[in-house]
Amino acid sequence: MPLNGMPLSAIAVESQTEKLSTVAVATAVNILEAIAGKHCLIIGDTGTGKSTIAQWLAQQSNSQVKVYDPDASIDEWQGLEVIGKGGNFADISASMNDDLLEMQKRIVARATDGDKANTGKDLCIIAEEFPVLKDECDIAPMWLGRIARRGRKPKIFVIALSQSDSVTALGIEGDGAIRSNFRYIRLGKFAVNHAKRLKDEGLVQWLQSGKYRCMVDDEPCQLPDLTSYKAVIVRVPEKPVLPSTETPEPLDIHDSPEFLEPEKPVTGGLKSTILPLKDAGYSDTRIIKDVLGYRGADYQKGRQLMTRILNDAT
């Protein structure tokens, strides 16, 4: 995963110093540093928070995010592009094919113009329950393999979710090259069982003695508390269109006053969404793009709304 968004210093990952039988767990790794430049495979049972962790990790990179989830409900993945709702595996397969075409276009562009060709185009794809996608979409194993091998430089990353860490279930048996491009984030019993395979009883005790603990490959990791995360990532349902007062331009019929949308009021709900993010260290740019939903040509409109929110809070 790329790390173009929130600075690592803004996300405290506490060190652990406990009297256990091994010094290996004295300091837990930083999750963002551990996954830098890698794709991710998050493994855990239902209810262990795989989806929330995936969404949080994706948001840290300031990437465009899309989700493949055939079983998504209307209140899941709020504010993100979700493909395959209602069991539409044909849409997922078509989008995966588009991903491979896009990756090839980016590789060609990079060959001509260098890294600047893909600047600002980071794409993070969350694949919910990848073993299901593998079984239902013929293209899925090839999609995963190609992006795992070649996606990093053209800035396309995958976060795959699974309830099994079996290479057969994931469709990557016999392919160590693919596995080496992933960081395995194991939650709950999968983390404990992996620690047992490492024959590290101290690590087993550490995992079982606290909250938000996991394994990243063979290293212990303390995750942040994400219990309230969903409350502050929901996008504003409608993007307000604000007339510019700084550089007025001649109006045509569609720009005349009766066609202009009124300014959206800065409500308490809007402030309660944005201000905690500012307090947590989120940049204005990230809030405007990823929370308010303003990108590209609409960015300045988002900047105006952001200014009004902050001015209203003072």
Q: Both 106 and 248 in a single domain? A: no
Residue 76 vs residue 126, higher pLDDT: 126
For residue 11, what is the DSSP state? Answer: S
46 domain-assigned: yes
Q: Rounded to whole angstroms, how far apart are CA atoms 94 and 76?
A: 22
Average pLDDT over residues 7-31: 46
78: pLDDT confidence band, cut at 50, 70 and 90?
A: confident
Long-range own/partner contacts, residues 110-116 (CB < 8 A, 24 or more apart): 110/153, 110/154, 115/153
Q: What is the mean pLDDT of the chain?
A: 78
pTM: 0.67
The average pLDDT across 11-19 equals 38
pLDDT above 70 (res 110): yes
Which tens digits make up the pLDDT trace of 232-255? 444 433 344 444 444 444 444 344
Top-confidence residue, 179 or 13? 179
The answer to the question of residue 274 being in a domain is yes
Domain limits for position 164: 8-227
Q: Read off the pLDDT of residues 126-146 as tens digits, 9 standing for 90 and up.
A: 999 999 999 999 999 999 999
67-72 average pLDDT score: 96
At residue 272, the pLDDT reads 67
Residues 63 and 191 in one domain: yes
Residue 113 covered by a domain: yes
- The total domain count for the chain is 2
Residues 193 and 301 in one domain: no
Q: Is residue 271 part of a domain?
A: yes
- Considering only CA atoms, which of 87, 77, 85, 61 is closest in space to residue 2? 61
Residue 25's domain is classified under what CATH number?
Answer: 3.40.50.300
| Shared domain check, 258 and 126 | no
**Mean predicted confidence (pLDDT) in 66-77:** 92
Residue 72 lies in a domain: yes
214 shares its domain with 250: no
At residue 25, does pLDDT exceed 50? no
> What pLDDT does residue 260 have?
39
Pick the last residue of a domain from 176, 211, 227: 227
Average pLDDT, integer, range 263-268:
59
Question: Do 262 and 304 sit in the same domain of this protein?
Answer: yes
Which structure tokens are listed for 134? 């593998």
The answer to whether residue 1 is domain-embedded is: no
Q: Give buried/exposed letters for 75-111 (b at 16+ CB in 10 A, else e).
A: ebbebbebbbbeeebebbbebbeebbeebeebbeebe
The two three-digit tokens of residue 64, written as one number: 């465009």
| 29 DSSP 8-state letter | B
213 located within any domain: yes
Do 56 and 137 reside in the same domain of the chain?
yes
The counts of H helices and E strands in the chain are 12, 8
153 and 65 both lie in a single domain: yes
Residue 5 has pLDDT above 50, yes or no: no
> Of 227, 260, 286, which marks where a domain is finished?
227
Does residue 222 share a domain with residue 260? no
Compute the distance between CA of residue 209 and CA of residue 279 in angstroms, rounded to an integer.
Answer: 30
The answer as to whether 287 is a domain residue is yes
Q: What is the pLDDT of residue 239?
A: 40
The radius of gyration computed from the CA coordinates of the chain, to the nearest angstrom, equals: 22
CA distance 151 to 2: 11
Q: Say if residue 254 is in the same domain as residue 113.
A: no
Residue 293 has pLDDT above 60, yes or no: yes
Beta carbons of 241 and 301 less than 8 angstroms apart: yes
pLDDT confidence band for 27 (50 / 70 / 90): low
pLDDT value for 263: 55
Least reliable range by pLDDT among 42-56, 91-105, 169-183, 262-276: 262-276
Out of 208, 227, 246, pick the residue that ends a domain: 227
Q: Say if residue 17 is in the same domain as residue 158.
A: yes
Based on the domain organization, do 203 and 241 belong to the same domain?
Answer: no
Residue, of 101 and 273, whose pLDDT is higher: 101
| Whether pLDDT at 64 is above 80 | yes
Q: Which residues contact 98 (CB under 8 A, 6 or more apart)?
A: none
